[in-house]
Amino acid sequence: MMDFAGLIAKGEGQTTEFKKSLSSRREALEALCAMVNADCAKGTVLFGVAPDGTVCGVESGNLDTAQRSLSQAINQGFDPPLRSEIQVTEFEGKQLIVLTAERPRSVPYHEYGGRAWIRQGSEKRQLTLSEKDQIRRSRDRAFHPGPWKCDRCGSWVVQLISVTMTKDGMKKNYDCSCGGQFWPCT
Ligand SMILES: [Zn+2]
């Protein structure tokens, strides 16, 4: 169970965005995109809370339909697909819609509506081409030159020498002998 009182009291920030109404859906999803693309790789949008933290609740109406159309917008708008969760909750007698998402390590960045956003504090901006390139080099294992660190045993290697043949050709092998996986060491 999320600590809503704490979350609202803390205000908007690197991983939290407030939206008073569901009509700001596009801005909300851009903000979510910007949050998951930052290094912390996760974000929460609270619908029904004003930017100053006032709990106003979402428009009364069909919340099932609202949830479904939000989830549809996420499925259609994000590339690669975004792992997200939507829940309806009651807080101080008002209905809130809580949208949370996380970027898996295997995704360097997500785009929403064809644009890649990044968040700094509570502000967002679009990634430039050279930033996208730099992010790909530091987060995408196919582009990363090393060194590497295992996410399980913590062992560290300068180069991955083992490769696997797949139907798409030669692929670096990221498996560590301990059962973990090698990821870019940053
Ligand atoms: Zn290992």
User: Which CATH number does 4-131 carry?
Assistant: 3.30.950.30
**Above 70 in pLDDT, residue 47?**
yes
Other beta carbons within 10 Å of 140: 14
Calculate how far, in angstroms, residue 148's C-alpha sits from the geometric centre of ligand 1.
11
Instruction: State which amino acid sits at residue 165.
Output: M
Residue with more model confidence, 185 or 101 = 101
pLDDT given at position 167? 80
Calculate how far, in angstroms, residue 102's C-alpha sits from the geometric centre of ligand 1.
24
Calculate how far, in angstroms, residue 137's C-alpha sits from the geometric centre of ligand 1.
22
Calculate how far, in angstroms, residue 123's C-alpha sits from the geometric centre of ligand 1.
38
Calculate how far, in angstroms, residue 173's C-alpha sits from the geometric centre of ligand 1.
13
Q: Side by side, which strands form the sheet with 16-19?
A: 16-19, 42-47, 94-102, 83-91
- Distance CA(69)–CA(63), nearest Å, equals 10
**Above 90 in pLDDT, residue 125?**
yes
Q: Per residue in 56-86, pLDDT tens?
A: 999 878 888 999 999 999 999 999 999 999 9
Q: Per residue in 143-165, pLDDT tens?
A: 888 899 999 999 998 888 777 77
Give the mean model confidence (pLDDT) for residues 49-59: 94
Mean per-residue pLDDT of the chain: 91
Calculate how far, in angstroms, residue 97's C-alpha sits from the geometric centre of ligand 1.
40
Calculate how far, in angstroms, residue 104's C-alpha sits from the geometric centre of ligand 1.
19
Q: What is the pTM of this model?
A: 0.85
Q: Per residue in 34-43, pLDDT tens?
A: 999 999 999 9
Say how many Å lie between the first and final Cα of the chain, rounded.
Answer: 32
Six-digit token string for 159: 């180069």
- Distance CA(17)–CA(38), nearest Å, equals 14
Calculate how far, in angstroms, residue 181's C-alpha sits from the geometric centre of ligand 1.
6
Calculate how far, in angstroms, residue 174's C-alpha sits from the geometric centre of ligand 1.
10
Task: Give the domain ranges of the chain.
Answer: 4-131, 141-184
Which residues are placed with Cβ below 5 angstroms of ligand 1, an ion? 150, 152-153, 176, 178, 180
The dihedrals phi and psi of 67, each to the nearest 5 degrees, come to -65, -45
Calculate how far, in angstroms, residue 149's C-alpha sits from the geometric centre of ligand 1.
8
- Distance CA(23)–CA(183), nearest Å, equals 39
Give the mean model confidence (pLDDT) for residues 93-119: 95
Calculate how far, in angstroms, residue 35's C-alpha sits from the geometric centre of ligand 1.
29
pLDDT given at position 186? 67
Calculate how far, in angstroms, residue 175's C-alpha sits from the geometric centre of ligand 1.
8
